[in-house]
Amino acid sequence: MTEPVRITIPGKPLSVNAAKRAVIVRGRSMSLKSREARDFEARAQLAARKAMGRRPMLTGDLEIRVVAFWSRRGADSDACLKPTRDALEGIVYAKDSIIRSDHTDRQVDPENPRVEVCIYAYGHPPRDLCNAWEDAHEGTGTPRLLADLPHAGRAYLECEP
């Protein structure tokens, strides 16, 4: 089985609502990719290339988990899912249609806005980052994010009592 791919996209997450902007060309309304969307896509693709290294693209059915760290409250938890999936297409996987399941969460980190992504074979979550998320949501406590742990190098969730 293929190792999971973990990607950290630095900077402000992109909301699907900010991904397009309306313009009028020759009297017709058109929708173009916003500057913010182009910037997010470039950051996501750079981070994905770094995470993938020399590995081939993932194939088969996949799951994706996305944690968006916004600088303030207010965004939907799934607001950045589509832009993130689209940005990783062609680098991590050929088409995002092979993603059978997606999971999103929203956190607030005004000091370090970012998007944390974990992609793995469908039905085979890794024990560290992604399983901690499941454990947190199935527990009786409130999910809490722990970031940049020395042993994992990534953020993960655990339940607070």
Residue 102 confidence (pLDDT) above 60: yes
| Residue, of 111 and 139, whose pLDDT is higher | 111
Closest by Cα among 6, 9, 105, 13 to 58: 6
- The pLDDT tens digits of the residues spanning 114-142 come to 999 999 998 887 766 544 555 445 543 33
DSSP 88-104: HBTTTBS-GGGEEEEEE
Distances (CA, A) of 96 to 26, 27, 82, 127, 161: 34, 34, 9, 24, 37
Residue 83 per-residue DSSP state? H
* Residue 25: Cβ within 10 Å count: 8
Spatial separation of the C-alpha atoms in residues 91 and 53, rounded to whole Å = 10
Query: Is residue 98 a contact partner of residue 88, using CB atoms and an 8 Å limit?
Result: no
* Residue 116: Cβ within 10 Å count: 22
The total number of structural domains that make up the chain = 1
Query: Is residue 59 a contact partner of residue 98, using CB atoms and an 8 Å limit?
Result: yes
pLDDT confidence tier of residue 99, bands split at 50, 70 and 90: very high
How confident is the model at residue 159, as a pLDDT? 31
CATH code at 93? 3.30.1330.70
Domain that holds residue 27: 5-160
Spatial separation of the C-alpha atoms in residues 32 and 20, rounded to whole Å = 5
How confident is the model at residue 88, as a pLDDT? 96
Identity of the amino acid at 17: N
Residue 154 confidence (pLDDT) above 90: no
Residue 81 confidence (pLDDT) above 60: yes
Tokens read off for 79 = 């607001």
Task: Output the average pLDDT for the chain.
Answer: 77
